[in-house]
């Protein structure tokens, strides 16, 4: 079970705030006043611009800027990077101003002006969501112990499940920023080299073992200088917010290519993130301590306080033609062994320069029970134990036309902080060209 939230956040006045905006006070909304996540949206025929989710609406930050109601400028840009680059003082000031404008009993200038409300507050149902920020770089980690032990047990046996370095170091690899996409973007099944167990040599084929990885993504709002290490506390200050992240994986391509340098094409074809970046400030009440360490960490990785979060996660799957999703997994971000701040610290400790818009994936988040596993590789134990979806449909891995959806929220007293859905549908692989025939 997740640890209790930090005592200093319990009973915060902010937790009792209500908004006058429609849908913002219902207990099942992802977007109460306590959240105020950032995204990039447009309506048909309009240019993308920055906004904030509140209840059932999007508050158009460019319109608020034009009306002179917020001091920060640049929200007509199609990405959050310019705002994130302004730093934590600007982040806190805008959050406070938005809270005042949208809260019951706050500044009534927006609430009491019907024409202005019409320009600023737009129904979420009528907007298109875009990538919320330009991804400068993408690093994927392997920070979930249950996942690492499950996968290691499958491939190396229980006695060698964890690599020797796993309990000392946040393992990661550099992924592809170019194929990070926003929720709702279809994903095409990748082609690659696959070596079946019985074959002497590999063949060229679409992946037959397509999978998801349920992850938590940290978005950097500030960078670091090349050659300058970070402490865990300093690293935490650079994080602007968090997204849900699905690192799609071609397990059969990965099995052939990953030795000795790790994942490459098996992970490069797509990574999907949720459309809203939940600011770190909104998650402060939900910080929890890391699990007990199996061995002491080196001093540079030790946390000054709770660095993980109590966020409930869920994976749903729907086959093409089905009317409804099937929940296939539930887990919690508190199951991670290393926090995003520790991952960032380790990333920078050797002198690596970090940039505004860098994205750090947590690695697959699994829990102790089968129903808590964050990938199909684990849920079906390598395809040996198929899942059964509603309607009796079996799945070992993802088929063409399947839709996978990740959701998550932190549960407060009468409210919750959500991320919106992180969804992708699988399209068939590209047609094989004659030049590729053996």
Segment 142-162, tens digit of pLDDT: 999 999 999 999 988 988 899
CATH code assigned at 116: 2.30.30.230
pTM as predicted = 0.95
Determine whether 17 is an active site residue.
no
In this structure, the answer to whether residues 152 and 240 fall within a common structural domain is yes
Query: Could you read off the pLDDT of 265-281 as tens digits, one per residue?
Result: 999 999 999 999 999 99
Quick one: pLDDT at residue 224?
97
In this structure, the answer to whether residues 108 and 206 fall within a common structural domain is no
* Residue 8, in any domain of the structure: no
Counting as low any pLDDT under 70, the low residues of the chain are 1-16, 438
In this structure, the answer to whether residues 186 and 290 fall within a common structural domain is yes
Domain boundary among 77, 105, 130: 130
Quick one: pLDDT at residue 4?
46
Domain count, the chain: 2
* Residue 289, in any domain of the structure: yes
In this structure, the answer to whether residues 70 and 180 fall within a common structural domain is no
Structural domain harbouring 41 = 18-130
In this structure, the answer to whether residues 265 and 307 fall within a common structural domain is yes
In this structure, the answer to whether residues 224 and 274 fall within a common structural domain is yes
* Residue 434, in any domain of the structure: no
Quick one: pLDDT at residue 8?
36
In this structure, the answer to whether residues 398 and 296 fall within a common structural domain is yes
In this structure, the answer to whether residues 121 and 148 fall within a common structural domain is no
Q: Which of 17, 130, 146, 147 is catalytic?
A: 147
In this structure, the answer to whether residues 216 and 146 fall within a common structural domain is yes
Quick one: pLDDT at residue 435?
86
Quick one: pLDDT at residue 438?
65
CATH code assigned at 253: 3.90.850.10
Q: HEC states along the chain?
A: CCCCCCHHHCCCHHHHCCECCCCCCCCCCCCCCCCCCEEEEECCCCCCEEEEEECCEEEEHHHHHHCCCCCCCCCCCCCCHHHHCCCHHHHHHHHHHHHHHHECCCCCCCCCCHHHHHHHEEEHHHCEEECCCCCCCEEEECCEHHHHHHHHHHHHCHHHCCCCCCCCCCCEEECCHHHEEECCCCEECCEEEECCCCCCCCEEEECCCEECCEEEEEEECCCCCCCCCCCHHHHHHHEEEEEEEECCEEHHHHHHHCCCCCCCHHHHCCEEECCCEEEHHHHHHHEECCCCCCCCCCHHHCCCCCCEECCEEEEEEECCCCCCCEEEEEEEHHHECCCHHHHHHHHHHCCCCCCCCCEEECCCCCCCCHHHCCCHHHHCCCCCCCEECCCCCEECCCCCCCEEEEEEEEECCCCEEECCCEEEEEECCCCCCHHHCC
Domain boundary among 103, 130, 157: 130
Quick one: pLDDT at residue 437?
72
* Residue 438, in any domain of the structure: no
* Residue 392, in any domain of the structure: yes
């Amino acid at each position: 079970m997740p640890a209790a939230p930090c005592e200093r956040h319990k009973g915060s006045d902010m937790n009792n705030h209500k908004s006058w905006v429609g849908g913002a006070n219902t207990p099942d909304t992802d977007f109460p006043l306590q959240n105020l996540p950032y995204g990039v949206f447009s309506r048909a025929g309009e240019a993308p611009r920055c906004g904030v989710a509140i209840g059932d609406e999007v508050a158009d930050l460019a319109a608020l800027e034009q009306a002179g109601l917020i001091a920060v400028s640049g929200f007509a840009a199609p990405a959050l990077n310019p705002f994130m680059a302004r730093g934590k003082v600007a982040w806190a000031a805008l959050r406070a101003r938005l809270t005042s404008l949208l809260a019951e009993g706050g500044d009534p200038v927006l609430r009491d002006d019907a024409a202005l409300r019409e320009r600023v507050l737009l129904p979420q149902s009528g907007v298109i969501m875009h990538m919320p920020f330009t991804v400068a770089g993408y690093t994927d980690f392997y920070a979930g112990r249950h996942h690492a032990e499950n996968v290691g047990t499958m491939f190396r046996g229980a006695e060698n499940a964890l690599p020797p370095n796993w309990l000392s170091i946040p393992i990661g690899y550099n992924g592809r920023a170019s194929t990070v996409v926003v929720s709702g973007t279809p994903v095409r099944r990748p082609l690659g080299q696959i070596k079946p167990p019985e074959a002497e040599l590999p063949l060229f084929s679409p992946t037959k073992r397509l999978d998801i990885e349920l992850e938590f993504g940290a978005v950097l709002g500030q960078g670091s200088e090349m050659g300058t290490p970070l402490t865990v506390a300093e690293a935490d200050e650079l994080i602007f917010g968090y997204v849900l992240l699905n690192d799609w994986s071609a397990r059969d391509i990965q099995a052939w290519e990953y030795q000795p340098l790790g994942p490459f094409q098996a992970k490069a074809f797509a990574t999907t993130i949720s459309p809203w970046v939940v600011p770190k400030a909104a998650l402060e009440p939900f910080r929890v301590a890391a699990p007990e360490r199996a061995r002491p960490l080196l001093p540079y990785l030790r946390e000054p306080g709770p660095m993980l979060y109590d966020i409930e996660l869920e994976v749903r799957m729907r086959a093409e033609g089905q009317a409804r999703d099937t929940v296939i997994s539930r887990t919690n971000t508190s199951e991670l062994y290393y926090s995003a701040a520790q991952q960032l610290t380790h990333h920078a400790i050797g002198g690596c320069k970090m940039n505004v818009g860098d994205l750090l994936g947590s690695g697959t988040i699994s829990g102790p029970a089968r129903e808590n596993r964050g990938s199909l590789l684990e849920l079906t134990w390598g395809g040996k134990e198929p899942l059964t979806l509603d309607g009796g449909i079996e799945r070992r891995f993802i088929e063409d036309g399947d839709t996978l959806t990740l959701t998550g929220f932190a549960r407060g007293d009468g409210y919750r902080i959500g991320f919106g859905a992180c969804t992708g549908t699988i399209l068939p692989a590209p047609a094989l060209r004659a030049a590729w025939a053996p």
